[in-house]
Copies of this chain bind each other. A is one copy, B any other.
Amino acid sequence: MTTRPVYLIGAGMMAFGKHKETPLSELAAGAAAAALADAGFNGDEIGAAYVGTQWGGSMVGQRALKHIGLLGMPIANVENACSSSSTALHLAQMAVAAGMHDAILVIGADKLTHIAGPLPRHPDDFDGSLGVSPPAVYATRARRYMFEYGATEEDLASVCVKNRKHAVDNDKALFQAAVSMDEVLGSRLVADPLTLLQCCARADGAAAVIVGSEAWARKAAQSPVRILASQLCSGLYRSDFRDMTSPEITVRCAQKAYAQAGLQPSDIHFAEVHDAFSIAEMLYYEALGFCGAGQAKHLLREGATTIGGRLPVNPSGGLIAKGHPPGATGIAQVVEAVEQLRGHAGKRQVKGAKNALTHCTGGGVSGLDHGACTIHILTSD
């Protein structure tokens, strides 16, 4: 069956940080209002809303949209851990591509300061019971990767130095101060070899985009960005497929996304990737095809993934500098990509960027394997 092109025609977000006094619904409403204002829309254009949240509880979308008077429409709340709102985007682009809706508001929101005590855990979450928490998983992968490929602690730390440097010019980031290599390496050890500054920080935040048809894109105030690919995969959990240095779900999802877009990794001009930990960004360079196995350290050492290099990664500052409200992160990456592709990213602009990739993955259900990976490829061409 035929489908039609799908565009991102509005984008906005609330600054990531600590918003203890602001209900999650107000954060989400603020992001939605920003996306509508960005598009020059008053809300009447919107046919449905898909809202991603991991920890927000019940009916986050309805609570949010009530604040801004967007009432009556179909609203679906979507949960996929770190990929919650990027999954909502995936569903929205399908609905628009199919002609089921002409414009859908997609919001991502989470508020981690509101969750008192430890995060809730499933009774069948054996990994968690064994202490196999995300920092421990990534620390183990880091040690293996260093052993296999000769990457150093400085290589790992350089991811953090780079991303914190990018975020100096991002007023939506939790951390807007640069850090030195010594500060990263000297910060408290969380899980050897990962120091505190190499782990993303919990945060509160919300981000929103409007996904729409070509007709609505033409009516919007900003130049449209087209979604060339939108892929969502779950894990394979295959015991014969557990190379700790290669995140299989991202490799597979990326292959599908490049095929859908008709592009190669070399066609991507910048990317927002899921740097929950410094090592994660390095693994994803390779899983996304930006370099070969073990070559991530060279991209970092050459500055290729710094703004000004040939393939900037996380010009927004990534999770490490922006902070990580899981439900909001996927759409926040897309907001950054839209601003960059429009040429509106100010001092952190990736010059001449036409094609962008955003990558979100999470929901570790079984150690190394993630439950949900999403990749979007976007273009201003």
Contact = CB atoms under 8 A, between A and B. Distances in A.
Interface of A: 1-4, 23-26, 54-55, 57-59, 61-63, 65-66, 71-81, 87, 90-91, 94-95, 97-100, 114, 120, 122-124, 231-238, 252, 363, 365-366, 371-372
A76 B71 contact: no
Nearest to A111: B123
A234 B372 CA distance: 27
Given A58-B363, A97-B98, A233 B74 contact: yes
B63 A365 contact: yes
A252 B59 contact: no
Contacts of A371: 59, 62-63, 75
Nearest to A122: B57
B90 A237 contact: no
11 contacts: A3-B100, A55-B58, A62-B235, A63-B122, A63-B124, A63-B371, A74-B231, A74-B234, A76-B87, A79-B79, A94-B100
B80 A76 contact: yes
B66 A365 contact: yes
A234 B73 contact: yes
A-B interface, 3 closest residue pairs, ranked by CB to CB distance from nearest = A98-B98, A1-B99, A62-B371
A81 B94 contact: no
Contacts of A61: 234
Contacts of A365: 59, 62-63, 66
A113 to B, nearest CB: 11
A71 B372 contact: no
A91 B97 CA distance: 14
A234 B71 CA distance: 7
Contacts of A363: 58-59, 62
A163 to B, nearest CB: 26
A211 to B, nearest CB: 14
Given A99-B98, A123-B23, A365-B66, A252 B72 contact: yes
A25 B363 CA distance: 15
Contact of A233 (B73, B122, B234): B73
A79 to B, nearest CB: 4
Given A54-B58, A76-B87, A371-B59, A234 B65 contact: yes
Given A75-B80, A97-B98, A66 B237 contact: yes
Nearest to A119: B58
A59 B94 CA distance: 21
Contact of A236 (B72, B90, B98, B124): B72
Nearest to A96: B98
A77 B80 contact: yes
Given A1-B2, A76-B90, 17 more contacts: A1-B99, A24-B122, A54-B58, A58-B122, A59-B81, A59-B371, A62-B371, A63-B371, A65-B234, A72-B234, A72-B236, A74-B231, A76-B87, A77-B78, A77-B79, A91-B95, A94-B98
